[in-house]
Chain A
Amino acid sequence: MASVYIPVQNSEEEVRVALDQLPRDASDILDILKAEQAPLDLWLIIAREYFKQGKIDQFRQILEEGSSPEIDDYYADVRYERIAILNALGAYYSYLGKIETKQREKEEHFILATQYYNKASRIDMHEPSTWVGKDHELAYFCIVGFTAETCQLLLAKGEVEQASAAFKIVIDGDHDNVPALLGQLLRAEYLYMDKVKIQHHILVQACVEFNRGRYSESLELYKVGCMAIFFAIEKSAVRLGIGLCRYKLGQFEKAQQAFERVLHAKNVEALVALAIMDLRTNEATGIRKGMVKMQRAFEIYPYCAMALNYLANHFFFTGQHFLVEQLTETALAVTNHGPTKSHSYYNLARSYHSKGDYDKAGVYYMASVKEVNKPHEFVFPYYGLGQVQIKLGDFKSALSNFEKVLEVYPDNCETLKALGHIYVQLGQTDKGQDFIRRATKIDPRDAQAFLELGELLILSDTGAALDAFKTARTLFKKGGQEVPIELLNNVGVLQFERGEFELAQQTFKEALGDGIWISFINEENKSSIDAATSTLQFKDRQLFHDLESNGHRVEVPWDKVTVLFNLARLLEQLNESGTASILYRLILFKYPDYIDACLRLAAIAKARNNILLSIELVSCNLLALVNDALKVNDKCPNALSMLGELELKNDDWVKAKETLRAASDATDGKDSYATLSLGNWNYFAAVRNEKRNPKLEATHLEKAKELYTRVLIQHSSNLYAANGAAVVLAEKGHFDVSKDIFTQVQEAASGSVFVQMPDVWINLAHVYFAQGNFALAVKMYQNCLRKFYYNTDSQILLYLARTHYEAEQWQDCIKTLLRAIHLAPSNYTLRFDAGVAMQKFSASTLQKAKRTADEVRATVAELQNAVRVFSQLSAASNLHIHGFDEKKIDTHVGYCNHLLSAAKVHLEAAEREEQQVRQRQELARQVALAEEARRKAEEQRKFQMERRKQEDELKRVQQQEEHFKRVKEQWKSSTHSKRRERSDDEEGGTGEKKKRKSGKKRKKDKHSKSRYDTEEPETDMMDEQEMEDEEADVNYREEPQTLMNDDGEENAQGLLAAAGLEDSDADEDMAAPSSSVARRRQALSESDDDEPLQRQSSPVRENSADMQESDGEIREVDKTNGDDASDEEKQY
């Protein structure tokens, strides 16, 4: 049996004290110790022995005596042992505090413990063991109370690191190095005191490691500590620690064993730990078992916060919120341990969250988060807080919270989705997309994630968006869930946008489901629905009243209105405008404030009246409708824009400008459509005033440019603004720049069905035209016509014709004009242009050096056509039936007469030419074969006979045209006389074939020069015609002035043309005697002296003419442009 020896003072004897036979009364042994002034370590040994034997009072008595003031005095220089005694006492009271349940007594124990420790540390601040004491205590509480009722001393203050640092001083080594610690332990094994000390060290370190999350190190330390265990109470604590470590390390079975070994002591912590282990099996039976254990723990010790929390958690899921609150409140009252409190707050917050009390939930989440040091420890409150913050609109904070969650769970779908959502809300769509894409990758069966992804992609990549939506739809369907209407709507819209109309229609119908609309969509022929009348009266909603009074229920659920609108929009696209109109009106019937539907109705009406001459009807029909929309919302910029546009169409310029201004103001200038419209207005104004006031034109252009630029600054990708800006540039002559812009816009516009920009094609063609690249211009016009107008736009045909005209492709020009006439029969301008083209064609043929009789005949026919067209035109114009002004008709007539006379000359020339051909042939025969000459002459005569016969036939066909006949008669007589003269001349200069030839050559030169002369007036005429047409609706009052000018010009030009032709004849005569030298000289175009001025000036005039024309079109075109823009706006 172990015993200690107390050295007897002043002798060499010793008193032997058997440790197992210590006296019952500690005073005896105390007396001995005091009397013999025994070393203090003996006191400690004996006290421990008492403690071991369960004699707590004796233990305390000895230690208290050992720490009394007189001992302090006596052993003043024995520091270490005094400290050890105090430490032991501190540990004892700590233990008492631990096991005490009443808060007051518990605190008293702890206060005592602290006093002892403090006293110890006063003895020597630098004595390591005092630190150890505190640390020991810390360790103790940490081990035992991971559930932490008692962690007031250090840990609750968050001084884990401090504790660790302090402990580092003690073990004086590398605390990470467990083997080193073990070595130290072994070295000190035989020293009892040291053993205890080291044991403490180890346990403290274990605890610290545990709290740092280094579970395996902690486990090793616990194991070592377990070997050297001293206090029984500590043993169970160590086991618990081991269990926790194993649990954290995932060694659940061993952990369970450890816990079960502690269980016999009715250890609540172990019970709770076991219960948690049961719960985490995640099986029904396990959970039940776990909850039973929890409840037992709760019964054993109702203030274990951990158990309370778990119970609360359980009741949260069973939905007993009242119990949750009670339990968590108790838990909060009994614990000061951060993580546990955090858990409790979290439970409370969750309860409020689920009840929808976001403010309170937010507060408790926040409290919970505050108790958590690192998100890794307990991340749920961050998630909850984030959710609540999203609800409350605080996205920035939510973002940081969710990011913390994501750090812990980088693959959590919900978090990724939430983050994606937040980024979208914050406007960082790219980041949002990334997150949601990640979410869909991690869980490819999450319909919601695909839905959100789709919504994000709509703006950037419609194809991908559609795919995402479709995936979501199939997932919903697979899951047996009802597919949300919004999803179907989005799918439909995307399909619509991609031009998959059939699919879109199906999708919309699926989204709509069953309802009153079915009858409108499918059974249009049903007698109860009179589609016919309904298409007429856009405001008529009688239909629905009738239906209602007939007992049908006309219902449109609010969530289906948008789908219905989209379907109607789609039907419109599919040209089912009748059905679309009914659907729009159905919407308006139920939701009279749905402006878009109202505007679409107006747009349908407008489309129907597109080329209509009667703008009166338009204004009646449409202004009323749009005013309806305005009544609903006076500030609606869309309606204002449309109204402005209609006013423009109605030629109400000033009003239109005001309305557009108002539209622009209503949106603080942010509505690019209104700004664009204003820009267009300015542009039109500039073009309109071109002839009047160049200054005004410049300001208007400048203003237009400014407005376009403003839109471009706001929306750098606005095609219409870019187009407008390019038009202004072209207007100023910067063709290359504008061409680039047009090309880019054209490319950009060729993606969506909603962006239809034929204007840019036309503008591009205009630029090519202005640059003289006729072939490309023709191609561009043709493509545009085919692509956007189903070849129905006579205006573009006119441009095309003009291009052919410039390119001198007369037949193409005439054919194109004929097509245009066929398309727009009431446009007499086209006939006029056709006449001009025919005349021009004839003139150019006549100017050819070599021409066959057939050619001349064709020419004559063409001329006759031209004459007929002109005479018809003048006759028709006399009826003043197409709104032309009287004066204008006079001009027409005058010009026609001029042309007629010109044609007369042409015809003369043609006849003469024919005769010349004949004569030439005759002469050639004479020179070559004198003897055959007579026979040839006979043939010639025969040929002549045939000719005449043919001419007769021609005449017969046109017998009825007396007027012309008379003219022809006249011509014939005059030609005869002339011919006679001519032949005389020729007889005079016999054998001058060569000279004749040269004369002809020269004539050709001459003609090619004069071409410009003749061409100019025609071109101008065409342009002016068009201009006037355009202007006719622009400003009627101003027209007389223009006409006056035109009169002068046209007359002069007509005369000029005639003169030019006369000239050529004169030339011919003169040239007859000239020599070949002269011919060469003329070929070198020295004879151009008299004309270079005209030549040079002509291109300039042509250019200006071009511009005039293109202006006109651009104007027209921009109007349609506006339509498209408004269409687009009204899309969704």
Chain B
Amino acid sequence: MKLGGIKSVENAHDDSVWAVTWVPATANRPPLLLTGSLDETVRLWRSDDLLLDRTNTGHCLGVASVAAHPLGSLAASSSLDSFVRVFDVDSNATVATLEAPPSEVWQMRFDPKGAILAVAGGGSASVKLWDTSTWELVTTLSIPRPEGPKPTDKSGSKKFVLSVAWSPDGKRLACGSMDGTISVFDVPRAKFLHHLEGHFMAVRSLVYSPYDPRLLFTASDDGNVHMYDAEGKALVGTMSGHASWVLCVDVSPDGAAIATGSSDRSVRLWDLSMRASVQTMSNHTDQVWGVAFRPPGGSDARGGRLASVSDDKSISLYDYS
């Protein structure tokens, strides 16, 4: 397996690009690339040529996360001011504006069926679940406070939730927090299951394998990527190689590889059968905040695509084969 560079857009945004995701193809258009930036805009790009389709404004402070509905019609973007804007991808009409003060908004993910939007709630130590039809807050999945006396140092007992991931069957939700612990929830019963331990620094991104609902990949500031058996609470593997924080991770649609982006300015491709880094792309000149494999489907889905975005204001597109 390997990555081949297809196209890079310098100065795709006016400032650091912090978020990226693919909007799945719909009946009348191919998949689009959705990016969010510190310049307070969200932009849509046509694939392969990376032509700018539209620029959405309206956010204040930087756009920290973007998410796309599995059907491809809706997308959500969130900014540091903790507003979530849900909009129609094709018309840019605002569908809903979500906030749940005092909870902040970090990473967002639609569940695989598209019925729920999960939002990492930062300091509220919870994940908020929004119904995508009514745009009502359905559930708040809170991470329970550990037992024992109240600690006095600043390590605190609260988990600052940064990232969320849905299992492919939509039954499980995992969230990563600032202190490196990962919490797994049973979504249908809205119940906290257990923690996964092994990281001791912020987990900014995590993703379930598309085929194995137990297998979870996590990227952490400690420079490692961990593989967990999310059900069995076991650490299955560790992949080290990045020189600095691993900021983002995504798994390929075929489930054979993962891609990571890091503060060390590189994008790495990891072969899961070898559990080793097989390729390092170093075309970015600053931290790589997002990597995203294009989901399968769509009429012109010729091959796998991987997109990466970086603090250097650029977007890169690679062919994955």
Q: Do A and B come from one complex?
A: yes
Give chain A's interface residues, CB within 8 Å of chain B: 524-525, 531-533, 535-536, 574-579, 607-618, 651, 789-792, 815, 818-819, 821-822, 825-826, 828, 834, 861, 864-865, 868-869, 872, 875-876, 878-879, 881-883, 957, 959-961, 1029, 1032-1033, 1036
* A869 pairs with B81, CB closer than 8 A: yes
Known: A617-B200, A791-B263, A825-B106. A1033 touches B18 (CB 8 A): no
Given contacts A576-B241, A792-B287, 7 further A-B contacts (CB under 8 A): A575-B242, A616-B155, A825-B106, A882-B154, A883-B153, A960-B97, A960-B99
Name B235's contact: one of A536, A577, A869 (CB within 8 Å): A536
Q: For the complex, is B162 an interface residue (Cβ under 8 Å from A)? A: yes
**Complex CA–CA separation, A957 to B83 (angstroms):** 10
Which of B24-32, B47-55, B118-126, B164-172 is near enough to bind chain A?
Answer: B118-126
**Shortest distance between the CB of B268 and any CB in chain A (Å):** 11
Q: Which residue of A lies closest to B97 (CB)?
A: A960
Please name 11 pairs of A and B residues whose Cβ atoms are closer than 8 Å in the assembled complex, sorted by A.
Answer: A533-B234, A612-B179, A614-B179, A615-B153, A616-B153, A822-B38, A822-B64, A825-B162, A825-B178, A868-B60, A879-B124
The smallest beta-carbon distance between A114 and chain B, in angstroms, is 92
A882 to B61, Cβ gap below 8 A? Answer: no
* B229-252 Cβ-contact flags toward A at 8 Å (1 or 0): 000001111111111110000000
A792 touches B263 (CB 8 A): yes
* Shortest Cβ distance from B226 into A: residue: A532
Contact with A along B179-194 (1 / 0, CB 8 A): 1100000000000000
> CB < 8 Å: which of A578, A651, A791, A826 contacts B287?
A791
Q: Mark B147-160, 1 if CB is under 8 A from A, else 0.
A: 00001111110101
Decide if B122 touches A865 in the complex (CB within 8 Å): no
A579 to chain B: closest residue by CB: B240
Number of interface residues of B (CB under 8 A): 70
The answer on a CB contact under 8 Å between A957 and B58 is yes
Q: Chain A interface mostly helix, strand, loop or mixed? A: helix
Q: Is the interface of B mostly helix, strand, loop or mixed?
A: loop
- Is A881 touching B275 in the complex (CB atoms < 8 A)? no
Query: Which of B122, B200, B276 meets A826, CB within 8 Å?
Result: B122
Could you say which of B61, B200, B227 contacts A614, with CB atoms under 8 Å apart?
B200
CB pair B237 A532 closer than 8 Å: yes
Output the nearest chain A residue to B16 by Cβ-Cβ distance. Answer: A819
- Give the top 9 A-B pairs by smallest Cβ distance, nearest first: A875-B102, A790-B263, A826-B160, A790-B244, A613-B155, A614-B155, A881-B158, A883-B154, A525-B275
**Min CB gap A190→B, angstroms:** 104
Beyond A791-B286, A881-B123, is A575–B238 a contact (Cβ under 8 Å)?
A: no
- Is residue B265 contacting chain A, with contact meaning CB distance below 8 A? yes
Q: Report chain B residues within 8 Å CB of A883.
A: 153-156
A791, B235: Cβ atoms closer than 8 Å = no
Select B221's contact among A611, A822, A861, beta carbons within 8 Å: A611
Closest-by-CB residue of A relative to B242 is A575
- Inter-chain contact B240/A578, CB cutoff 8 Å: yes
Chain A residue contacts of B239, Cβ below 8 A: 578
A531 touching B221 in the complex, CB below 8 Å, given contacts A613-B179, A875-B102, A957-B58: no
Residues of A within 8 A of B274 (CB): 525
Structural contact, B276 and A524, CB atoms closer than 8 A: yes
Those of B204-241 within 8 Å (CB) of chain A: 221-224, 226-227, 234-241
Number of A-B contacts (CB under 8 A): 175
The residues of B with any CB-CB pair to A shorter than 8 Å are: 15-16, 18, 38, 58, 60-62, 64, 80-83, 97, 99, 101-102, 104, 106, 122-125, 151-156, 158, 160, 162, 178-180, 197-202, 221-224, 226-227, 234-245, 262-265, 273-276, 286-287, 311
Q: How far is the CB of B154 from chain A (nearest CB, A)?
A: 4
Contacts of A576 in B (CB 8 A): 240-241
Q: Would A815 and B15 count as touching, CB distance under 8 A?
A: yes
Minimum distance in angstroms from A883 CB to a CB of chain B: 4
Q: A1036 contacts which of B104, B153, B179 (Cβ < 8 Å)? A: B153
A531: B residues at CB distance < 8 A: 237-238, 275
Q: How far is the CA of A536 from the CA of B201 in the complex (A)?
A: 13
Contacts of A959 in B (CB 8 A): 97
A611 vs B273: C-alpha distance when bound (angstroms) = 32
Rounded to whole angstroms, the CA-CA distance of A876 and B105 in the bound complex is: 12
Chain A neighbourhood of B265, CB < 8 A: 790
Which of B62, B99, B237, B311 has most A Cβ within 10 Å? B237
A575 near B240 with CB under 8 A, answer yes
Quick one: which of B16, B162, B202, B238 contacts A535, CB cutoff 8 A? Answer: B238
The interface residues of chain B lying within 8 Å CB-to-CB of A961 are 99
Q: Is the CB of A818 within 8 A of B38?
A: yes
Distance A878 CA – B124 CA, assembled complex (angstroms) = 11
Residues from chain A with Cβ under 8 Å of B122 in the complex:
825-826
A882: B residues at CB distance < 8 A: 123, 154, 156, 158, 160
What is the chain B residue whose CB lies nearest that of A533?
B235
B104 in contact with A876 (CB, 8 Å): yes
The listed residue (A578, A865, A875, A879) touching B238 by CB distance below 8 A is: A578
B153, A1033: Cβ atoms under 8 Å? yes
Which A residues lie within 8 Å of B276 (CB)?
Answer: 524-525
Q: Are B243 and A792 in contact (CB under 8 A)?
A: no
Q: How far is the CA of A882 from the CA of B154 in the complex (A)?
A: 7
Contacts of B104 in A (CB 8 A): 825, 872, 876
Q: Are A878 and B102 in contact (CB under 8 A)?
A: yes
CB distance from A872 to the nearest CB of B (A): 6
Q: Beyond A535-B238, A577-B224, is A613–B154 a contact (Cβ under 8 Å)? A: yes
Which of these, A535, A828, A957, A1029, contacts B123 with CB under 8 Å?
A828
